[in-house]
Structure 1
Amino acid sequence: MDLTGLTGTNAYCDKAAAAELRKVVREESIGLVRFIGSGNYHYLSCFFLEQVKEPCSLVICDHHTDMLPARFPELLSCGCWVKRALDECPNIREVLIVGAREDLICAIEKKYRSRVFCYSDKRIGGSDDWMPFALSHVHYPAYLSLDKDVFTTAAVDTNWDQGSLTLEQFQKITSCLFNRQTVLGVDICGENPRADQKKNNDFNRILLRYLEDENKPLSMAV
């Protein structure tokens, strides 16, 4: 998808841009691995999730919960898209957020806490109970949304504050998911045009190879 000419999209998506994006997304297959650019555009996941036609679990690897109250209610943003998806996509039955900051987890509104389950950045480094946690909270075919800011800066450079997840930990976490649930689709954001492009492109290739090998029906969007 080439959307470089579309305005009203950077971090906040206005209604006109949202209408155009929905038209494009409707023509795409859900079962793809998509690289969607900077974390400023993570809200694109919301449009992909609108295309899911069955009950699903949304699994998000992100250093942020993206569940902040909307600063401008008429706009969709990278900071509130998960909350909007829960409100407007009835097929999302549960959300699992991996690698988020604990202060942002504590700020999640109480009304969502029966459907949103978090495995914090701190917990990744200090515990080995991921598998029972995932088995307890992922009960449906899964859609995986990855913001690379969840990873350590040694692995990749993004334009947001970053977590401490390593590639090996990510592989361990997602292999558990792939082995137990159908994966409906994957999107990946976190590009940084000011960073070392070779480092980030090499990391993208590793991610794509791993995701396609683990979940054979998926292919890269072009």
Structure 2
Amino acid sequence: MMDFSGIYEDQQFWRGKEVSRVEARDIPGTNCYCDEDAMNAIRSRIAPYSSGGIHFIDSGNYHYMTRIWLEKISEPFSLLVFDNHTDMQPPAFGGLLSCGGWIYDSVMELPLLKRVILIGPDEEAFSRVESEIQEKVEFLSREKLLEMEEAQVCAFVSKHVGKLPLYISVDKDVLCKDDADTNWSQGDMRLNTMLECLKRVREICAEGILGVDICGECDVAESGNSALNDRANATLLECFLSAYGSEDHDGNKNEITGGNR
């Protein structure tokens, strides 16, 4: 777990598990935007860990952490993202990695990233994404999710995974408010639908999962429903642990990055 805010201290899902905690609250310049000094500090602290394993990375303000995990991958791969937002904004300021632009940066800067499968944002938001980026994305919109049966959503995922090793990034803001409480605008997906999609991924490419990260906590300074997120985190953790076993794609022992042992 990446400890940017302390949000996991009151959650229970990680207790009793083999957990590695990466302290990041003392690193300045990390909230929503991450400057070069902050990136280098983060890289130094996660140096002992591979992209493999299950990484909890705090709220969506820190979703750019996925980009930093991805740069550790050393083979061609695809990226599966569940998110209510595109996270494909070009950088407004040079040298800053942002929670709203990390997928854009990944596509532009990581040549081993061959394809992005993005599930959740609305069609209007995706229409504003640069065409050069759109060409590398398989997209399932919020509007389509509302129209489709669960089996159809799973079929979409099945169609686009399995060709290359896969990294999975989950932002819980794609979920409806009955299943998560985040500090960003939320979608309509049910947690059960996401779980069925992830089970389908397991069936197709369990041996080719490079790593997983999960974000979408509420703001630690506000009165969000962290207990609801705790339950969602526990469910997702169990899904990933049971689906992908105790070793990552490279045969290393999987562990959770964050929280106290």
TM-score category (smaller protein): over 0.9
Shift of 1:131: 4.1
Which of the residues 66, 71, 86 maps onto 1:50?
Answer: 71
Partner residue of 2:135 out of 110, 114, 118: 114
1:183 maps onto 2:204 in alignment: no
Q: State the Cα deviation string for residues 154-204 of structure 1 (Å, max 9, x = none).
A: 111000000001011101211121211221111111111231222221221
Structure 1 counterpart of 2:180 = 156
- Larger RCO: 1 or 2 (CA < 8 Å, sep 6+): 2
Find out whether 1:220 has 2:249 as its counterpart. no
Q: Distance in 1 between matches of 2:194 and 2:238?
A: 14
Shift, 1:219, TM fit: 3.3
Q: Distance in 1 between matches of 2:134 and 2:158?
A: 18
**Structure 1 Cα separation of the partners of residues 37 and 76 of structure 2:** 29
Q: Which residue of 2 aligns with 1:38?
A: 59
Q: Show the counterpart of 2:145.
A: 124
TM-score, length basis structure 2: 0.81
SS of the residue aligned with 2:212?
Answer: strand
Show the counterpart of 1:171. Answer: 195
5+ residue gaps in structure 2? Answer: 1-21, 248-253
For residues 206 and 174 of structure 1, what CA distance do their matches in structure 2 show?
Answer: 12
Alpha-carbon offset, residue 26 of structure 1: 2.6
Report the Cα distance in structure 1 between the residues aligned to 2:134 and 2:53, rounded to whole angstroms: 29
> For structure 1, which runs of at least 5 residues remain unmatched after alignment?
none
Over the aligned positions, Cα root-mean-square deviation in angstroms equals 1.4
- Letter of the aligned partner of 1:190 in structure 2? G
The counterpart of 1:59, out of the listed 51, 57, 80, is 80
1:205 and 2:226 correspond: no
2:4 is aligned to: none
Cα distance, 1:179–1:13 mapped onto 2, change above 3 Å: same
Residue 208 of structure 1 aligns to a residue whose secondary structure is helix
Q: Which moved more, 1:33-42 or 1:197-206?
A: 197-206
Alignment of structure 1 residues 82-121 onto 2, 5 Å: 82-121=103-142
> Which string of whole-angstrom CA distances, capped at 9 and with x for unpartnered residues, describes residues 89-120 of structure 1?
11110000011122111111111222111111
- Cα distance in structure 2, aligned partners of 1:183 and 1:39: 22
Kept after mapping to 2: 8 A contact 1:159/1:191: yes
Counterpart of 1:74 in 2: which secondary structure? coil
Identity %: 33
Q: Secondary structure at the match of 2:186?
A: coil
Shift, 1:132, TM fit = 4.1
Q: Which amino acid aligns with 2:235?
A: I
Secondary structure (helix, strand or coil) at the match of 1:206 reads helix
Give the conservation status (yes or no) of the 8 Å contact 2:195–2:236.
no
Q: Partners of 1:16 and 1:135 in 2: how far apart?
A: 39
1:137 aligns with 2:173: no
4+ residue stretches of structure 1 with deviation over 4 A?
none
TM-score between the two structures when normalised by the length of structure 1? 0.95
